[in-house]
Structure 1
Amino acid sequence: MSTRKPGTGTGPADAPAPKPLLSLLPTVGGPAPERADAARNRRKILDAAARIVAEQGPGCVTMNQVAHASGIGVGTVYRRFGDVSQLLWALLDDRERQFQEAYMSGPPPLGPGAPAAERLDAFLDALVDRVVEQREILLAAQTAAPTARYTSGAYLAMHAHLTLLAGQARPGANAPLLAHLLLAPFSPSLMHHLSQEQRLSADELKAGIRQLLSLQVPTER
Structure 2
Amino acid sequence: MPHEETDAKDQRDAEYRRRILEAARALVDRNGIDSVNMYQIAQEAGIGQGTLYRRYEHAGEIYSDMLRESVEHFLQELESWHAPSASAASALERLDDAIGRLIHYIDDNVVFLSTINCLYAGKKTFLPHKRPITQRLQGIFQDLLNDAVRQGETGELDVTLTANFLLAALSPEQYLHHRESLGYDKDMYLAGIRRLFIEGLRKRG
TM-score range with shorter-chain normalisation? 0.5 to 0.7
- Distance across 2 between alignment mates of 1:144 and 1:189: 17
Change (3 A) 1:119 1:67: farther
2:74 paired with 1:95: no
Q: Where do 1:35-114 residues align within 5 Å?
A: 35-36=10-11, 38-53=13-28, 56-67=31-42, 69=44, 72-75=45-48, 78-82=50-54, 86-92=58-64, 94-96=66-68, 98-105=70-77, 109=81, 113-114=86-87
2:137 to 158, 163, 187: 158
- What displacement does 1:180 show? 0.7
1:123 to 67, 75, 98: 98
Aligned to 1:174: 158
Question: TM-score, normalising length from structure 2?
Answer: 0.65
- Distance across 1 between alignment mates of 2:70 and 2:22: 13
Q: Can you give the 5+ residue segments of structure 2 that lack an aligned partner in the other structure?
A: 1-8, 151-155
Whichever residue aligns with residue 60 of structure 2, its letter is L
- What displacement does 1:185 show? 0.7
Whichever residue aligns with residue 98 of structure 1, its letter is S
1:1-59 Cα shifts (integer Å, max 9, x gaps): xxxxxxxxxxxxxxxxxxxxxxxxxxxxxxxxx72453254144224424534664433
Instruction: Flag the structure with larger Rg.
Output: 2
Residues 92 and 137 in structure 1, CA contact (< 8 A), matched pair in contact too: yes
Change (3 A) 1:179 1:61: same
Change (3 A) 1:146 1:182: farther
- Distance across 1 between alignment mates of 2:122 and 2:173: 9
Whichever residue aligns with residue 58 of structure 2, its letter is Q
- Distance across 1 between alignment mates of 2:183 and 2:167: 21
Whichever residue aligns with residue 40 of structure 2, its letter is Q
CA RMSD for the aligned pairs? 3.8
1:113-135 Cα shifts (integer Å, max 9, x gaps): 34444543343233323262422
Aligned to 1:199: 183
- Distance across 1 between alignment mates of 2:122 and 2:166: 21
Residues 103 and 123 in structure 1, CA contact (< 8 A), matched pair in contact too: no
Change (3 A) 1:181 1:194: same
1:129-159 Cα shifts (integer Å, max 9, x gaps): 3262422332443466697212323322221
Greater helix fraction, Structure 1 or Structure 2: 2
Whichever residue aligns with residue 134 of structure 2, its letter is Y
Q: Can you give the 5+ residue segments of structure 1 that lack an aligned partner in the other structure?
A: 1-33
2:169 paired with 1:185: yes
